[in-house]
Structure 1
Amino acid sequence: MAKASRTEVFDIDINKLYDVIVDFESYPDFVLGVNDIKVHDMTETSGVVEYSIDMIKKLNYQLDMEMSRPNKVAWTFKKGDLFKINDGGWDLKDLGDGKTEVTYSLEIEVKGFIPGSKMIVNKLTETSLPSMMKSFYERAKS
């Protein structure tokens, strides 16, 4: 099992950032490796998001989402190709003056032995995390 967490302070209003995070259908436009998103049964507080990503290998999976505007977007794994566990979330804290403390956390575990799975896990938790967070920040700033 791999866990990762990163906290940064973004010079962006909490609501603008929250809006980008919950605009799941736009992820293919600005999140590297996300090919397609399908949203099911979405409300203001919950829904299911189906991801099609390309991280060394093409993968499909679904996450159950829980949202609490403007401070939290969390998910738990529902089903998919590679993962046994894929849980995590965004915690946002309004620091005032248009600044937001952003914590992104992720816990993943893959099913059995799948060739390349260790590289995928490392890419998701270590390599991609800083650049992925930056892409959300830049999207919210634009």
Structure 2
Amino acid sequence: MAVIADFPAYPDWAKGVTVAEVRSSYDAGDPQQRGRAREVFFALDVSPIKDEYTLAYDWSGDDQVTWTLVEGKMLKALEGAYVLRPAGAGATEVTYRLALDVNIPLIGMLKRKGEKILIDTALKGLKKRVESGA
């Protein structure tokens, strides 16, 4: 979860993310969220999506993080999650969920393609980053 929670490093490994800036954090309250990002601003350029948007995060310790769109220019809705489960021998199974909607009309095929690109690049980039030990 440490790599997922390190938003300032996203431009180094998450394809298309040009900016990832923590706007607010959980400072008190639930110990599973304390010190973690509450809202993060992103600039993204991954065809067919180019946008600037802010996501709100909800953390469940080191097991799960979910997010929802606060505001965006092109994106109308964006919800997702990373769910981490031990997979034995120091390995971790990562499940990534994503659903998005845009403010411009897109045929279903293009929307699904955009979702697939975002999912594939997120998982491949995360795997590479974790395995590099960075």
TM-score range, shorter chain: 0.7 to 0.9
Which has the larger strand fraction? 1
* 1:68 positional shift: 1.9
Q: What is the CA–CA distance in structure 2 between the aligned matches of 1:84 and 1:69, rounded to whole Å?
A: 28
Does the aligned pair in 1 maintain the 2:16–2:44 contact within 8 Å?
Answer: yes
- How many correspondences in the alignment? 123
Contact conserved, 1:110 with 1:117, CA < 8 A, in 2? no
Distance in 1 (CA, whole Å) between partners of 2:113 and 2:75 is: 14
Instruction: Report 1 or 2 for greater relative contact order, CA contacts < 8 Å, sequence distance ≥ 6.
Output: 1
Alpha carbons 2:14, 2:121 under 8 Å: kept: no
CA distance in 2, matches of 1:73, 1:64: 10
Identity of aligned residues (%): 29
| Alignment match, 1:25 | 8
The Cα RMSD (Å) is: 2.2
Structure 1: where are the runs of 5+ without partners?
Answer: 1-17
TM-score by length of structure 1 reads: 0.76
Q: 4+ residue stretches of structure 1 with deviation over 4 A? A: 114-118
Give the Cα–Cα distance (whole angstroms) in 2 for the partners of residues 88 and 117 of structure 1: 19
Rounded to whole Å, the distance in 1 between the matches of 2:11 and 2:109 is 24
Residue 52 (str. 1) matches residue 43 (str. 2):
yes
Pairwise mapping of residues 51-130 of structure 1 onto structure 2 (< 5 A)? 51-56=42-47, 58-111=50-103, 113=104, 119=110, 121-130=111-120
Structure 2 unaligned runs (5+)?
Answer: 27-31
